[in-house]
Amino acid sequence: MNDVISLVPAPGEGREPGLEDLLVRVARGDETAFERIYDALSAPVFGLVRRVVRDRAQAEEVAQEVMVEVWRTAARFDPGRGSAMSWVLTMAHRRAVDRVRSAQASADRERRAVREEVAYDQVAEAVTTRLEGERVRRCLDGLTELQRQAVTLAYYGGYSYPEVAGLLQTPLGTVKTRMRDGLVRLRDCMGVDR
C-alpha cells in the first residue's frame, strides 16, 4: 500500500494552532479545554503576576482571578488577532499592574523603584533555569542597556513609561522609543511571527 498522509490545515491556522483552538472551545463552555489551558498557561501567568506584584499571596489571588477571567471572557478572544498565549498573558499583566498601581501610593512605588534597578539581574538569574528563558535572556542581552532597562522595568516591574522615565532619568520621548525599538529587536531575536 502506498499511503500518503497529508495535513489539512484548518482555515486561519497559525504556526501554533493548539491553544487557540482550545480557547475557542472554552468560549463554548468546554471545561476540559479550560483545564488544558490552565495546565499550559497557569505557570507563566503566575510567574509573571508574581514578578510584578511581588507578594506571593497576592500574586496567587491575582493569578486565580486571571484564570477565572479567561474562562469568563474567552468569547472575546479572536484567533485572527494573535495567539491565545499572548491574549492570556496580556490580561494577566494588566491585572497585575492594576493591582500594584491601585494598591500602592506613588511614594511607595518610588521607594520600591529604587530596588527595581536590580530587576534585570534578578530576572536574568530566574530565567537561566528555564528553557525558553535561556533564549529570552540571550535576546535581552542583545539590547542596549537603556532598551533593556526600559523593557524590563515596564514589563517585569509594572511601571508606566513616565515612571520608567523618572527611574532612568531619561526624557519621556526617549523611553517610549527605547521600549519600541527594544521590543522590536527582541521580536526579531526571538523569531516571533508577525
Partner 1 sequence: MIDEIHTLSGAYALNALPLGEREAFEGHLTRCESCDIEVRGLCETAARLALAVAEPPPAAMKSRVLAQISQVRQEPPVVPHPPMEEPVRATVRDNVRPFSRRRQRFTVGIAAVATAAAAVLGVVAVEARQARDTAELQGRTLAGLLAAPDAVVKKVPVTGGGTAVLVSSHASGRVLFASSNLPPIAPTRTYQMWLMDSGEIRSAGLLSGETAVVALARGDDRFGLTVEPAGGSDQPTTTPVLLTRI
User: Rounded to whole angstroms, how far apart are CA atoms 159 and 51?
Assistant: 12
Contact 18, 31 (CB under 8 A): no
19 binds partner 1 (CB under 8 A): yes
The mark string for 42-81 relative to partner 1 (x by CB under 8 A, - otherwise) is: xxxxxxx-xx--------x--xx--xx--xxxxxx-x--x
41 binds partner 1 (CB under 8 A): yes
User: Rounded to whole angstroms, how far apart are CA atoms 24 and 30?
Assistant: 9
Which of 113, 151 has the CB closer to partner 1?
151
Size of site (CB under 8 A) for partner 1: 111
92 binds partner 1 (CB under 8 A): yes
Q: How far is the CB of 4 from partner 1 (least distance, A)?
A: 5
27 binds partner 1 (CB under 8 A): yes
Axis crossing angle, helix 119-127 with helix 145-155, rounded to the nearest 10? 80
